[in-house]
Amino acid sequence: MERAWIVSLGTELALGQTVDTNAAWLAQRLTELGIRPARHVTVPDELSAIRDALAQAAGESDVVVVSGGLGPTDDDLTRHALAALAGVELELHAPSLERLRGFFAARNRQMQPTNRIQAMIPKGGAALENTCGTAPGISIKLGGTPCFALPGVPFEMKTMFERAVRPVIRAATTGRVLLTRQIQCFGLGESDLAAKIRDMMTRGRNPEVGTTAKLGAIGIRINAAAGAPAAANELLDETERELRRRLGELVFGTGDDTLAAVVGAQLRQRRATLAVAESCTGGLLAKLITDVPGSSAYFVGGAVTYANEAKVRLLAVDNAPLAAEGAVSEPVARSMARGVRAALGATYAVAVTGIAGPGGGTEAKPVGLVYVGLDTRAETRVERFLFGHDAPRAFIRGRAAMTALNLLRLELLGTSGAAS
């Protein structure tokens, strides 16, 4: 088994009313098992569309994993499509009918006649027990290709995959594994960062190296193929070392690490505390920090000082610089950082003031202009950024909040140019 196709069934998915998360989850599991997800396909609840998709999937892959279309209603057509493609009838699977009856009895609910269809399996196929819902899954070969049909409800699908599909696939694979690792970077645009590792991103290299961007953080994926996990891990280690050598302090973490979690761990380790003052990010910076479970150990709190008056009242920012230079200025960022650190008695404070747009920009102070202030026991400093004019409000706010966290991260690393 080398190549898998993942098929998602549902009109709500095809019309975009629901975002499909099953396919991504299944792709991750298959990848872990050393099987390459070669294609995901989504089709609506229409018999001919489902048949076409499944026939093509079985023809062009070594294993097919399907989710959805196993419910009790007329638009649940997976079992019919599988039976038609295998050229067999549906037949009642007595143990599944027993389980269905038990499921409803245990909940004091009447089993509807329509639910009986859920105990029907294409002849020659096998039922996969559903331990969390009504619909059993189906395992069947289509032209020699194993095909697993799982429910669309994510937790039923996941439980069934782990119980009934993973062991079968593991037994069928020949041992070749594909292991994945990710390192997280912040501080350069995606193409500038890629320029530093261009030669490592050539196609066909093993491990493969690729980048993705999110809120300004660049994730670098490393995928290594090898005959055994230990050999794959060795390849990953080697590539990770080289990436870290080239990227230095741009690298802030691994896996799904967020900047906020990494900064939080540094603060916790030093028994230091943090306070924030926000204007244009309007709470987003504090939100990112408190997304992290346990952040109360180091995050004291913050002030969202949207109006000038709030800056004066909560942070004791002077009226003079506000009037002379405006709220989006170096001295105001400085005062905000100092003000919130003093007000909350924290070890560190960061402050953000800027113009997130879409309105409020001028020639001198365009949309996207942001000042980030940092106050410590030793010093106060402010950096100025311009986050792409014409960029949407959410982009500018996200970039500003992440940049504030990164400034603090570099300060905590003690490698910041302006360190005292």
- Residue 102 interacts with a second copy (CB under 8 A): yes or no: no
Binding residue for a second copy (CB under 8 A) from 78, 223, 329, 353? 223
Q: Which stretch binds a second copy (CB under 8 A): 138-146, 169-177, 218-226, 236-244?
A: 218-226
Shortest reach from residue 420's CB to a second copy, in Å? 26
Shortest reach from residue 124's CB to a second copy, in Å? 27
Shortest reach from residue 305's CB to a second copy, in Å? 5
Binding residue for a second copy (CB under 8 A) from 2, 44, 176, 233? 44
Binding residue for a second copy (CB under 8 A) from 145, 295, 335, 353? 295
Contact 70, 129 (CB under 8 A): no
Burial class from Cβ neighbours inside 10 Å (0-12, 13-18, 19+) for residue 116 reads middle
- Residue 18 interacts with a second copy (CB under 8 A): yes or no: yes
- Residue 173 interacts with a second copy (CB under 8 A): yes or no: no
- Residue 151 interacts with a second copy (CB under 8 A): yes or no: no
Q: Supply 340's token pair.
A: 């919130």
Beta strand pairing call for 90-92 and 120-122: antiparallel
Q: Which amino acid is at 239?
A: T
The Cβ of residue 171 has, within 10 Å, a number of other Cβ atoms equal to 7
Contact 163, 21 (CB under 8 A): no
Rounded CA gap, 312 and 275, in Å? 17
- Residue 271 interacts with a second copy (CB under 8 A): yes or no: no
| CA angle at 201 for the pair 200 and 202, rounded to the nearest 5° | 95
Binding residue for a second copy (CB under 8 A) from 31, 254, 347, 416? 31
Q: Which amino acid is at 31?
A: T
Q: Which stretch binds a second copy (CB under 8 A): 121-129, 202-210, 370-378, 409-417?
A: 202-210
Subset of 47-66 contacting a second copy (CB under 8 A): 49, 53
Subset of 104-143 contacting a second copy (CB under 8 A): 106-110, 112, 114-115, 131-132, 134
- Residue 394 interacts with a second copy (CB under 8 A): yes or no: yes
- Residue 309 interacts with a second copy (CB under 8 A): yes or no: yes
- Could you please report the per-residue DSSP string of 62-100? SEEEEES--SSSTT--HHHHHHHHHT--EEE-HHHHHHH
Distances (CA, A) of 55 to 26, 79, 172, 251: 20, 14, 21, 45
For residue 358, cis peptide bond before it (omega within 30 degrees of 0): yes
Binding residue for a second copy (CB under 8 A) from 1, 33, 37, 399? 37
Q: Which is nearest to 370 in space by CA: 260, 285, 256? A: 285
Binding residue for a second copy (CB under 8 A) from 282, 321, 326, 361? 282
Is the CB of 227 or the CB of 388 nearer to a second copy?
388
Binding residue for a second copy (CB under 8 A) from 144, 174, 198, 364? 198
Shortest reach from residue 112's CB to a second copy, in Å? 5
Subset of 320-379 contacting a second copy (CB under 8 A): 343-345, 357-360
**DSSP state letter for 416:** -
- Residue 290 interacts with a second copy (CB under 8 A): yes or no: yes
Contact 214, 186 (CB under 8 A): no
Q: How many CA atoms lie within 13 A of 309 on its CB side?
A: 0
Shortest reach from residue 406's CB to a second copy, in Å? 17
Subset of 63-92 contacting a second copy (CB under 8 A): 71-75
Shortest reach from residue 150's CB to a second copy, in Å? 15
Contact 83, 122 (CB under 8 A): yes
